[in-house]
Structure formats: C-alpha cells, structure tokens
Structure 1
C-alpha cells in the first residue's frame, strides 16, 4: 500500500480516515494524496459561464487550500510524504478519477453512514465510491488511534468470481501480518450443509498458503447480519468483502451487501471490486 488516496470534506470522519492512512503510509513507506472536491452549483447551463461567479469560486478554492495546509501540519502526518489536490468536480466522480490518475493502491475514506430515506434515495459519497472504484476502499467510522488489521474477517461466497478480490484481500492481510478469518454466511434462503459449505471453501483455497487462515461457517438470518455478528464474535479489527458494483435498478432492488456494511458497521470495512 504505497500510494494512498484520502478524500476530505474537512469533517471529523475525514480526519479519522487521514489518521489511519498516515499509519498505513508510515508502515509501508508510502505517500498520501489528500483530495478535496469543490462541487460546482448545478443551476444554469454552465456554472463557470458568468464572470461574477469566478471570484466566488476562487474564494472557495483559496479557503480550501488554507484548510488543507492546516491539516498537513498535523503532528500525525510528520514524516509522511503528502500531496494536496483540489478540483472542481462532483465528489465521488473526482475521487474515483483521481484514484486511477494517481495509480493509487488504496482509497481511505471516512463515513458516518447513511440511514432511512437518505440511504435509499441519496446514499453517501463513500457508498458511491465503494460501488464504482476498481481500487480497494477502506472505510473508517471512528477515531482509530492505533489502526490494526490483526484479526481480518473476509466474507465470501467462495465462487469463482470471488477469487480475484480474495487474492487482493490475501495480499492486504499479508502486508499487515494479519490472521485472516474467512467466513461463509449460511442463510435460510441459501442454505448449505456444513459438509458442502466446507468442501466449497476447501476447493476455493486449493493451492493457497493457509498457515495464517482460519475458515468458518456461520448461520444467520441474512448475510449482512451474519457478517456483523461473526465479526463481533471474534472481535475483528477489520471486515472485508468483495462488491459487485451494482448500478441502476439492479442496485435499487437487490441492494449491495458491501454498501450496507459500509453504512451500518462500526468496525473498519474494506471492499474489493469483483
């Protein structure tokens, strides 16, 4: 994890994410790209077309520069190579584009979650980045004074399409010296006997070094609750899973377990795109 992108809206949750990113950067001799997006007003045909708007935009930009400079003076960033980026763009679009442009290995974002109608109809920028990013996204919900991934729970259905994100999770676990808890959540709607579920996991892991891996089969009413309850049972430091990146009607009707976890989990969550 050498190149870490950290979006900020100057909130306390964004600072939580930056603190974690600083710890990861120090551990891996990495660098941080600190990004702030200035979202343009959507009224009119062209937000930059009228001259009277330009001084106001520059005022916002200068204020953002000053805030970023103040953040970069924080003690927890001492010794970390850090670059600041300010752009006029919709937040989640700019975050995804900058992740690709700077060849980031990881995006670290803060989130307070979203609930009720906000979650259903609007969602959070973090949720949108999780849905669209090809780069792993680590979501931080609270102040992690000492970030640890020692107990890393990774939930999977152990299908063929889950192998690529699992490999990324496996590499992430190795970089942190983490013990990987692989879990299959058994639900009433998709029930497998223990024998069948364990064989599926064994076949999935064939040829993998399992010296620092424990496998589990956990029964619950649905996958999201199963992951949260299992993570609590092993006192996990981090929850990981893959995301399909569903969009449009498919996302509305089917939802996305990884995005639900981003909204509802208190523990850090990392997602890997299938």
Structure 2
C-alpha cells in the first residue's frame, strides 16, 4: 500500500480523515494525495472559453490558499503530500484521481446521514463507498492508528466476498490490528442452522489458500440478531471493537434504491471507523 487518497472539503471531518491518513502513512511509508472538488456550477460551463479559464483560475487559486492553511499540521511532517484539485462537482467522481495516482486506499471523513436526507440524497461518503474501485476507510471522529487494537470483519462468507476478506486481512496486518470474523444469523426467512453456517464458512476457507481451513472456520463468531446492521453494532459495542470492516456490493440505480447496501448503511451510521471493500 503506497498511496492514500483523502478527499477534502476543508471541514473538521476532512481534518479527521487527514490525520488518520497521516497515522497510516507514517506507519507504512505511504504518500497522501489530498484532493478537493472545486464544484464549479453548471452556469460556468456554459460560458465562453476565456471566462471559463479566468473563473476556473480564480477558484484554483482560492483552493490553493485554503490548502496552505489546511495542510499546515505538525502530524504531516515527514509525509509526502500531493495536492490535487478537480473541477468535478461530486466526491464520487474520483475514478480519474484513483487511476492517475494509483491509489490503494481512500480515507474519508464523514458526518453520516439520516432521515429524509439519507432517503433522498444520501451522503458523499455513501456515494464514494458505493462507487470506489479501491477500499474506503470512513472516519467520523479523531482517530489514532495506535488505538486500533481489535477489528471485526463481518460478511455472509459467500465466495464473492473472498477477495474483500483477503484485502481487509492484508490491511489489518499492515496496521497491526487483530481481526475477528463475524457471521450474523438472522430470523426467518434467512435463518440458518449452526450446521449450515459452519458448512458455508468451511467452503469459503477451502477456496482460499490457507493451511488449515477447518481451524479458520472454527474461529468464526456466530451472532444472532434481527438485522445485519444491528448485529454488527451490538457485537462491536459489546466487545469493544475499534474498527468495523465489511464488503459492499456497490449497487446503483434502482437496485440500490430497493435493496440498499449493508456496507453503505454501516459506513453512514457507525461511530467507529469503517473499512469497506467493494465486491
């Protein structure tokens, strides 16, 4: 992991993400790309080329000034920082930045969302979690890497989640956190017997090059609750987890409207840091 991307809007939540990224960068020797979306309104794009250039230049200079203040932090000393200004209006337009800088992880601050704002608009963070092609670490409070002692990875242990598990396991190894594996068992019609759950998990680990699939399957924690989200939060709180890791399907359009995504819901509602990997 060599490059971290921190999308910023210069809010306190962006500062939380920047400091978290700095913690990680110091630990693993990564650089940080700090990216800001100027968010030029549609009216500017309808003007002639000269006006567009002049107004764009003004906003870029204003952003550079804000960068100078925002990046004047002691915790960034010794970290390779790359400034990036985009003309895009939304944080979910990050694919060009990810490709240009070969980003390995996005670290993003969030205040979450709820109620009608969540139903109709969602949050920038939710959109990034849904669309990003690389893992996303969501931060909502001041965060220190040394405080991340125990992490929990929750999924249904279907084969489609194997790569997400391997990615999260590698990341947790890099930062030195213990990873616990969690299976949430739900009431009817999704209820599964202990034998069914164990058999599913065993097949999951048999498909991964591990020395002892049976032992790995036996390490899974089975937890009963009324929803996956409630189960993850309850387990994390009861066992004092420091980070939640989860795969996400990244559904879009009508599929997202009707089905949603557990990964995005967890990222929106959890006060703990959340690491998501798109399946």
Deviation at 1:116, TM superposition (A): 1.2
The equivalent residue for 2:119 is 120
Which moves more between the two structures, 210-219 or 172-181? 210-219
In 1: Cα distance, 2:195 partner to 2:66 partner = 56
SS for the counterpart of 1:5 is: strand
The equivalent residue for 2:232 is 227
Deviation at 1:147, TM superposition (A): 5.0
Q: Deviations over 1:200-237 (max 9, x none)?
A: 22332234267999420111101111111111121111
Residue 62 to residue 167, structure 1, CA distance change in 2 (3 Å):
same
User: For 1:207-222, what aligned pairs fall within 5 Å after superposition?
Assistant: 207-208=209-210, 214-222=219-227
Residue 28 to residue 48, structure 1, CA distance change in 2 (3 Å):
farther
Deviation at 1:92, TM superposition (A): 2.2
In 2: Cα distance, 1:192 partner to 1:17 partner = 38
TM-score, normalising length from structure 1?
Answer: 0.93
Deviation at 1:43, TM superposition (A): 3.8
Gaps of 5+ in 2: none
SS for the counterpart of 1:94 is: coil
The equivalent residue for 1:38 is 38
TM-score, normalising length from structure 2?
Answer: 0.91
Q: Does the 8 A contact of 1:40 with 1:47 survive in 2? A: no
The equivalent residue for 1:247 is 252
In 2: Cα distance, 1:195 partner to 1:71 partner = 54
* Runs of 4+ with deviation above 6 angstroms: 210-213
RMSD across aligned positions (CA):
2.0
Gaps of 5+ in 1: none
In 2: Cα distance, 1:160 partner to 1:243 partner = 14
User: For 1:13-24, what aligned pairs fall within 5 Å after superposition?
Assistant: 13-24=13-24
Deviation at 1:146, TM superposition (A): 4.5
SS for the counterpart of 1:114 is: coil
The equivalent residue for 2:7 is 7
Q: Does the 8 A contact of 1:38 with 1:90 survive in 2? A: yes
Q: Does the 8 A contact of 1:107 with 1:136 survive in 2? A: yes
Residue 209 to residue 171, structure 1, CA distance change in 2 (3 Å):
farther
Q: Does the 8 A contact of 1:34 with 1:84 survive in 2? A: yes
In 2: Cα distance, 1:48 partner to 1:135 partner = 35
SS for the counterpart of 1:205 is: helix
